[in-house]
Structure 1
Amino acid sequence: MAIRTILHYPDPRLRQKAQPVTQITPELERLIDDMAETMYAAPGVGLAATQVGEPHRIFIIDIASEDEPSNLMVFINPEITHREGGDVLGPEGCLSFPGVSEDIKRAVKVTVRAQDRHGKTFELTAEDLLSVAIQHELDHLDGVLMIDRMGVLKKRIVQRKMQKRHAEAAG
């Protein structure tokens, strides 16, 4: 396992749409393990393959709190099949937007169909933090970022902050 570099906004690779996974290979299993190590080291509750520069429709989530055992969930080729409860506004952060936390509108409850790390199809209905995390990570696979779900003023503030951070990191 290895810790991968997490892409930060405004990296254009974050806008690329992920491609469906057609076969579970040893390389894909290694990617999933690397993503888990990367997410835990960051630390975060979710990570999409596109955030580490890999074009696969895969994301992982672990919303267990620090005093609970890890509960890593792997979603391959995920799709939301049902949304429920209207939209609620709640705080979100993102490993591709370090130091940014903004209120984002998300469905209260979602049902997602995906494959696990072994290729077995499953369906899951999620609420609260898990629902938000699923919607957030699925957006990444479609090239949609949390900044795209912000109002104009908040978007400008976050863009400036991230561009300043990018310029400082570049040297």
Structure 2
Amino acid sequence: MNLTTIEKEKLAIPPLQLHYLGDRTLRQNTKRINKIDDSVRELAKQMLQTMYTENGIGLAAPQIGVHKQMIVVDCQPDNPASQPMVLINPEITKFSKDLCVAEEGCLSIPNVFLEVIRPRNIQLTYKDESGKKHKIKASGLLSRVIQHEMDHLHGILFVDRVKNSIALGEELKKKGFSIEAVQPVH
């Protein structure tokens, strides 16, 4: 199975069910994947299909109730030439000191978009769906999406990083979520 050639179609029903803010599943730590086999590749395929169907650019395994260290990313889902990434056991090895602010959203907190401060650039290592190890530098949107999705692997949601608590509370309330589900990161 070659996941880089997966169809970017939106299915009528996503193959995997998302978990939403307030669900304790999103707050649990994940375990490393020791063996990359067909079951891991099938999960990656279904995660990509779910991400595309839900109009996302990233998805982490905990968002679909799987507590494994895997994320999928495609910063240009509408570009057929853009290749999706499957990152297994990703580890950020370096963060830039240069920070930037940008608006983020999350498939687990639909229609909530707020500003988050993150390092502009990162270096990381990961394995792909074939088990090949990669070491890359990421900047811009790719850096932000990887950091956001990797937070999920540690039970952290982007709303936990929002500094403007008033805007956060108002936005969550408007969309039917409780501020009580937020666990601020300091």
The alignment's TM-score, normalised by the length of structure 2, stands at 0.83
1:149 aligns with 2:161: yes
C-alpha contact 1:148 1:155 (8 A) present in aligned 2: no
Unaligned runs of 5+ in 1: 165-171
1:74 aligns with 2:92: no
User: Residue in 2 aligned with 1:163?
Assistant: 177
Task: For 1:110-125, list aligned pairs within 5 A.
Answer: 110-125=122-137
Please report the RMSD computed on the Cα atoms of aligned residues, expressed in angstroms: 1.7
- Once residues 57 and 87 of structure 2 are traced to their aligned partners in structure 1, the CA distance between those partners, rounded to angstroms, is 14
Q: Percent identity?
A: 33
- Once residues 101 and 159 of structure 1 are traced to their aligned partners in structure 2, the CA distance between those partners, rounded to angstroms, is 10
Q: Normalized per residue, which structure has more helix?
A: 1
Question: Deviation of residue 154 (structure 1)?
Answer: 3.0
Per-residue CA deviation, residues 112-149 of structure 1 (Å, 9 max, x unaligned), is 10000011110110111000001000000010001110
Q: Structure 1 counterpart of 2:168, which letter?
A: K
Question: Deviation of residue 68 (structure 1)?
Answer: 4.4
Question: Deviation of residue 55 (structure 1)?
Answer: 0.6
Secondary structure of the residue that 1:38 maps to in structure 2? helix
User: Residue in 2 aligned with 1:56?
Assistant: 68
Question: Deviation of residue 26 (structure 1)?
Answer: 1.7
- Once residues 75 and 116 of structure 1 are traced to their aligned partners in structure 2, the CA distance between those partners, rounded to angstroms, is 5
1:3 aligns with 2:3: no
Q: Structure 2 counterpart of 1:64, which letter?
A: Q
- Once residues 158 and 31 of structure 1 are traced to their aligned partners in structure 2, the CA distance between those partners, rounded to angstroms, is 32
Q: Structure 2 counterpart of 1:157, which letter?
A: E
